[in-house]
Amino acid sequence: MSEEITLSLKDAEALSLNVLQHNGYSQAHAEAITRNVLAAQRDECHSHGLYRLIGCVNTARNGGVDTHATPEIIDQAASVVKVNAHQGCSLLAFEQGKQSLVEKANRTGIAALAINNSFHFSALWPEVEALSSEGLIGIAMTPSHAFVAPAGGTKPLLGTNPIAFSWPRPGGTPYTFDFATSVVARGEIELHKRAGKTIPSDWAIDDKGSPTSDPAAALAGAMLTFGGYKGSALSTMIELLAGPLIGDVLGHETQAANEQKTGKPFHGELIIAISPEVFLGKDAEHHLQHAEVLFDNILGQGARLPSQRRFKARENSLQNGVTLPKALFDELVELTH
């Protein structure tokens, strides 16, 4: 079993900021990225936690992100705000466009935030939960590089293409899910490779189109969609809504940053905010309380709500700090030198 190390949230935050700023990220970008990866680490979403800082550094070193870009906010329409990230990280673009999105949703009932020309690597649930904390329903989606074969295909075309949803619950944690339309997030396969572990044979195919349990072969081949044709169709929807609809590219038209500096990792993200207060008026509280019947019945069968494990992990981390492999910690410390 690999050796682990525990950090206080404050020390983990300081480490993240140090890594990012030492490698060229502006204070504003470093703080936005840190808020996201620290939230993931706190909730034990390891594939999107501090581990992601390595990718942020490599992307910056390979010219795949403008580490000092200033997002440009565009008031597109009564219910639409667009943010041109100018090849900067999507997280600062979201934070700077969020207030306009919230105001528009509270005014019109439903509003959309389109982020264009951005480097995106992060979990989506912190964004939709930022909306549900404002009493709004949040939906977010983004395409990624071509890592996934469409159902029935043998070569990468679609991205892992995650979608997230968060429903505000009276007096409690929101109902939130965030999942890739691939069988697993690509980061899970990367973590298996780092740990020298095999993967289930239904996660991916190798470069010849055959099922594989070797994470290296999976990364060189193609990942698979969850649910076969259903996941493939949902992934395609995400490509369209967070690509052409908002005037941005399809996932396969992007490439990860590389040492030759020829990568083009910039693409779009779509976030939708819905106001129960506007949809329902004076009856909003009644109907939100009615929704609790569904959650109670799910739990009443002994089933688990999405994110329950994450919220429990959060409580533990807030008290005891976050745990990560010592090898990862040492690698991050090395990035500060």
Rounded Cα distance between 50 and 47, Å, is 8
Q: How far is CA 56 from CA 51, 61, 65, 107, 161, in A?
A: 9, 9, 9, 36, 19
48 tagged catalytic? yes
Among 31, 95, 188, 269, the active-site one is: 188
Annotation marks residue 47 as catalytic:
yes
- Beta partners for 84? 72, 116
Residue 36's identity, in one-letter code, is N
Burial class (CB in 10 A: 0-12, 13-18, 19+), 269: buried
Residue among 26, 31, 46, 47 flagged as catalytic: 47
Which of 48, 120, 145, 267 is flagged as catalytic?
Answer: 48
Is 188 considered catalytic here? yes
Q: Which residues are catalytic?
A: 47-48, 188
